[in-house]
Structure 1
């Protein structure tokens, strides 16, 4: 029998519904602290835009030759809304048809999305921190300014932090619910084949 349990149908539905928050809350944040900015500077990354102290960060980073941060740097903003929409729709379909293959596929999509976003952020951060203007006012030989992918990192006199924002944490809960659903279905299938 390839149908998932009613509980796991509900978990799939909740996981898909939670993903809708990506359209209304920031997914990621990058924060900077320094003696001249004790209150910190914060950039928030949404599904389709940036917000926060982006222009102040650009002003500070200009002196060390970093690129101007703008939404044009992120082509992902033009298609992520559709990727999320497709995955949310598939999650709703999973809850409706209650098939194990659909649950596994939904889970796989969430995992691939998460891995893809992390790889994409790492590559952007690497380029942003290493591709410096050689005519910059301040040059430190051998120094790169790649922001951390996750956690804290010291960059000159700045402490940088990168991590999930509200939407990112909600997506984490969504992935956790799906992990529970997939694990319980896998155990149920294993027990069925044992007897």
Structure 2
């Protein structure tokens, strides 16, 4: 087999495809759906935080997308200034500038895995499986970075110890209460991960026998020529 054939995998015989169309459709549906969900998630918020302070009893809210932060960002920055935290606009500059390209590429790789009938498909789809965990890890890093490197010259720096806001649930920063929740975009990314696992299961179940048959046929052909 050529390198191209090893990467793309065997072609499905037309007769077999017509006979078992539904079975061969399964990896396409799951892997294709996973890629589409990741692409859609780019336009939706991934993480939300509501901050309750005495002067804001109804709470201040911000929503984190892959490339921006929206909501009451200026008001939250004003409160953060008093405890010595940097502006939210300074967080993750590299990630925000590249995120749409990166997430889009990961989604397209998952879609491309549909057209590959060999184990190489797993390498195309696996970044999509890991992506939501990478997002949460990067988010945690920046919250840790901002919460543990407070400006000692801030008016209330002495009243607040270094802290890390929770990724999910309630937390407290001095007299401020925070409530964090995972938003629609992140849930879509997690759903995409589940679809990738199911899609790869069906991919292996459907295409592995064909690949083994083709490799066996090539081996027999080679041995007969050498004989």
TM-score category of the 2 structures, normalised to the smaller one: 0.7 to 0.9
The alpha-carbon distance between structure 1 residues 74 and 28, as it changes in their structure 2 partners (threshold 3 A), is farther
Please name the residue that 1:140 is paired with: 158
Instruction: Say if 2:113 and 2:125, in contact at 8 Å, map to a contact too.
Output: no
| Shift in Å, 1:88 | 1.6
**Residue in 1 aligned with 2:98?**
79
- Report what 1:14 is aligned to: 33
Whether the 8 Å contact between 2:83 and 2:160 is mirrored in structure 1 is: no
TM-score normalised by L of structure 2: 0.73
| 3-state SS, counterpart of residue 178 of structure 2 | strand
Deviation at 1:10, TM superposition (A): 0.8
Within-5 A mapping of 1:44-193: 44-70=63-89, 73-102=92-121, 104-140=122-158, 143-185=161-203, 188=205
CA contact (8 A) 2:132 2:186 kept: no
CA distance in 2, matches of 1:23, 1:185: 26
Unaligned runs of 5+ in 1: none
> Secondary structure in 1 aligned to 2:157?
coil
> Does the C-alpha gap of structure 1 residues 150 and 74 become closer, same or farther in structure 2, counting only changes over 3 Å?
farther
Return the offset for 1:171. 1.3
Contact preservation (8 Å) 1:49, 1:71: no
Check conservation: 1:9, 1:98, Cα contact below 8 A.
no
Equivalenced residue count is 190
1:160 counterpart SS class? strand
Q: Which runs of 5+ in 2 are unaligned?
A: 1-8, 13-22, 213-227
What is the root-mean-square deviation of aligned Cα atoms in Å? 2.7
The equivalent of 2:51 in structure 1 is: 32
Match of 2:88, SS state, is coil
